[in-house]
Amino acid sequence: MSQQATEQVHGHYIGGEWTTAGDERTFESHDPATGEVLATFRRGTESDVDAALEAADEAFEEWRSLSYIDRAEYLWDIYHELRDRHEELGEIVTKECGKEISEGKADVTEAWHMVEWAAGNARHPHGDVVPSEVAGKDAYMRRKPRGVVGCITPWNFPVAIPFWHMAIALVEGNTVVWKPAEQTPWCGQIIAEMFEDAGIPDGVFNMVQGYGDAGATITDDERVDTVLFTGSAEVGHEIADKVGGEPGKLAACEMGGKNGIVITEEADLDVAVHAAVMSSFKTTGQRCVSSERLIVHTDVYDEFKDRFVDVAEKVAVGDPLEDATFMGPAIEADHVEKIRRHNELAVEEGAEVLVDRFELADEEIPDGHDEGHWVGPFVYEIDYEPDLRCLNEECFGPHVALVEYDGDVDRALEIHNDTPYGLAGAIISEDYRQLNAFRDRAELGLAYANLPCIGAEVQLPFGGVKKSGNGYPSAREAIEAVTERTAWTMNN
């Protein structure tokens, strides 16, 4: 999409056609680093969603009748396009969601990793041969696609997460209606163009742009068999409660976290500082796996605090297109206000502020970027108490608590597990017994030892427990959400 294209209003991709039908409402995509308008999009209505679901429903029978390998061929085309356009797409991700440029490109890399996994998996077994109690009987577990899959995705991985959902759903034989996040419609437009270029049959893939109302129209419709949702716990639990109550419907929801890193008295502090800085400030703290709690043993607390604070004071906030930048802007003005409220809440609850760069100094804001949504690190220490909201509620920003503990790893785990969330976390220690205790007893889906708690590998399940997820992490386990199992018994 060129800059001249900002004059144009971009539409939805429904039944193999681009359409700007529906009402006249539009919305804009902005560069969060400059405030510049990038492009204008039609805002999806009930009638757009209805048309997309109709197209997906109609296309289902023919699509499911193709072989796995034929279905995967369309994804292989997209895999090559993602690779060929890596630089260009990485810059678009950075322009639209403000992640610094290496992260923008990594978003695209992760997308092709998932496409590669899903398309490659088409050549792997999709069921089980099971022994029968009766000689001469064959017994199998076979998988069938569920039907129409509604995909609802967040802004912070605008290329990777849609493919985490859609690549698997499509290869398994489902058709898809997808709503990209309202903050990143440009990435949505480009992904839809890729499906069009790959020649995917009409109606198999459909994309409706818009806000949460369009998302809710998708999730609530009876033609949708599975909802794949990634986003906030507020929205995800609302969807899971509504959809989960309907017979035959399933909602797989991956949500936020209040992730912690335990730094024990046996930690290598070089490793600890690196892990904490990466986990707390990459993507300006706006990852579901970002760490907002550093739980540090009293023996190493003061040294760790001094070193972490030193880096937090200096970490480079700036133009995300510049290689030297570590943190870009927050996604939008409303989100800056949300981060401000979390910072203020911590102070109300007794936090001792160690670093307050929430409002950047004028000289830190890059030239020509006055309209950007700038925030810097906010680091505080606080005495642990079980009901503190600042240690329980996800801020989704560069907002980090240091919590000192005394005692053994059981005490660290008690503090670590005392949050309603259970997505990601890490332990930093040279003692294998402490690592094993964390691996076995930390309440989370993604556990790291002597590493930052961010990062993903598509061949591992990616998802959370407790308030963070409802049991369908990505990849192999996500297949459960988009297929039904049939027990098939045959008399020979």
**Could you list the residues that contact ligand NAD (CB under 6 A)?**
152-157, 179, 181-182, 211-212, 215-216, 219, 230-232, 235, 238-239, 254-257, 288, 394, 396, 423, 464
**C-beta of 353: minimal distance to ligand NAD in Å?**
24
Quote the least distance from Cβ 257 to ligand NAD, whole Å: 6
Compute the least distance from the CB of residue 8 to ligand NAD, in Å.
Answer: 22
Strand partners, 149: 176, 226
CB of 362 to ligand NAD, least distance (A): 29
Measured CA to CA, the distance from residue 389 to residue 348 in angstroms comes to 10
Contact 38, 30 (CB under 8 A): yes
Measured distance CA(269)–CA(119) in Å, rounded: 41
Report the run of H or E that residue 52 belongs to, with start and end: helix 46-65
Which value, to the nearest 10 degrees, does the dihedral of the CA atoms of residues 285, 287, 289, 293 take? 20
- Backbone φ and ψ for 149, nearest 5 degrees, come out as -110, 125
Residue 238: how many CB atoms within 10 A of its CB? 17
Contact 150, 218 (CB under 8 A): yes
Nearer to ligand NAD (CB atom), residue 153 or residue 429? 153
Minimum Å gap between C-beta 230 and ligand NAD is 5
Is 363 labeled as catalytic in the residue annotation?
no
Q: Which of 59, 81, 349, 33 is nearest to 177 (CA)?
A: 59
Q: With contact defined as beta carbons under 8 Å apart, do 230 and 153 qualify?
A: yes
Concatenate the DSSP letters of all residues of 92-115 into one string.
Answer: HHHHHH---HHHHHHHHHHHHHHH
Query: Closer CB to ligand NAD, residue 49 or residue 72?
Result: 49
Catalytic residue among 254, 292, 332, 404: 254
From 208, 231, 213, select the one nearest 150 (Cα to Cα).
Answer: 208
Rounded least distance, CB 452 to ligand NAD, Å: 16
The 3-state DSSP class for residue 33 equals coil
**Cβ closest to ligand NAD, residue 216 vs residue 273:** 216
Interatomic CA distance for residues 308 and 274, integer angstroms: 9
Residue nearest to ligand NAD (CB): 215
Active site residue 288: yes
CA angle 318, 319, 320 (to 5 degrees): 105
Annotated catalytic residue within 151, 253, 288, 395:
288
Q: Point out the residues that are catalytic.
A: 254, 288
